[in-house]
């Protein structure tokens, strides 16, 4: 578990050139879930990404708290939880208890985003906000200094295996400019269609962390795939 928000801020400042990878469990083989988690443990990935979908905000249902609770005792990496659900503020405490280290909510589902971010931090988790492909960066101007991470969706959320939306690169650049302008320590995370063909361009545009599902879990050598993404 993370030692607190101060430690995360230190990481942001001292490792600005680090390439972080957060493999998405959504693409894993759930008949071998323990083995998949152990593979992540032995890899160079820093985090494990968990997409929580409710079938309301996005047109898919994934998994919930019992899965997090079952893998937390064996997972040695940080648990990076992405809530693609309506009313995420109702479940902040529950995801903390399930073992989440990082909790990301969608701008589109939070009418009181500042309050939600503050509540996540009060529960000693890092607070992230995610934007769908159509949502402009400018909407984060009043909150960017408060968040630890911004997750840009580079596909329409709901299903894995989609094609990367190329305009995301320009969006990353705009977000990086906003972060610098507001003197924020927020990391930039990209989720959707990420693989070895676009990883380098994303890092160059300003991304800090790449979420990869199929590109990792369905690779012939997942460990090598993670290394290739980190070294892109």
Indicate which residue of 51, 101, 195, 208 is catalytic. 51
Chain centroid to CA 138: 20
Phi/psi region, residue 113 (left: phi>0; alpha: psi -120 to 50; beta: rest), is alpha
- Is 208 marked active-site? no
* 191 has catalytic annotation: yes
User: Of residues 80, 101, 148, 191, which has the active-site annotation?
Assistant: 191
Q: Residue 147: helix, strand or coil by DSSP? A: coil
How far is 73 from 168, CA to CA, in rounded Å? 35
Q: Which helix (H) or strand (E) holds 81?
A: strand 78-84
Instruction: Tell me the β-bridge partners of 6.
Output: none
Q: How far apart are CA 144 and CA 114, in angstroms?
A: 10
Q: What are the residue numbers of the active site?
A: 51, 191
């Amino acid at each position: 578990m993370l030692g607190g928000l101060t430690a995360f801020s230190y990481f942001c400042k001292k490792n600005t050139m680090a390439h972080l990878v957060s493999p998405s469990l959504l693409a894993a083989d759930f008949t071998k879930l323990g083995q998949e988690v152990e593979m992540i443990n032995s890899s160079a990935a820093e985090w494990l990404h968990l997409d929580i979908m409710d079938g309301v905000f996005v047109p898919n249902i994934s998994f919930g708290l019992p899965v997090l609770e079952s893998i937390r005792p064996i997972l040695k990496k940080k648990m990076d939880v992405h809530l693609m659900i309506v009313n995420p503020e109702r479940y902040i405490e529950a995801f903390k208890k399930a073992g989440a280290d990082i909790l990301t909510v969608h701008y589109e589902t939070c009418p009181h985003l500042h309050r939600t971010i503050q509540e996540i931090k009060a529960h000693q988790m890092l607070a992230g906000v995610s934007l769908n492909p159509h949502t402009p960066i400018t909407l984060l101007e009043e909150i960017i200094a408060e968040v630890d991470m911004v997750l840009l969706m580079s596909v329409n959320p709901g299903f894995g295996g989609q094609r990367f939306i190329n305009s995301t690169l320009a969006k990353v650049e705009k977000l990086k400019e906003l972060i610098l302008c507001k003197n924020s320590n927020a990391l930039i995370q990209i989720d959707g269609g990420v693989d070895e063909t676009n990883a380098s361009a994303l890092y160059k545009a300003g991304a800090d962390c790449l979420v990869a599902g199929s590109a990792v879990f369905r690779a012939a050598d997942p460990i090598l795939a993670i290394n290739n993404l980190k070294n892109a």
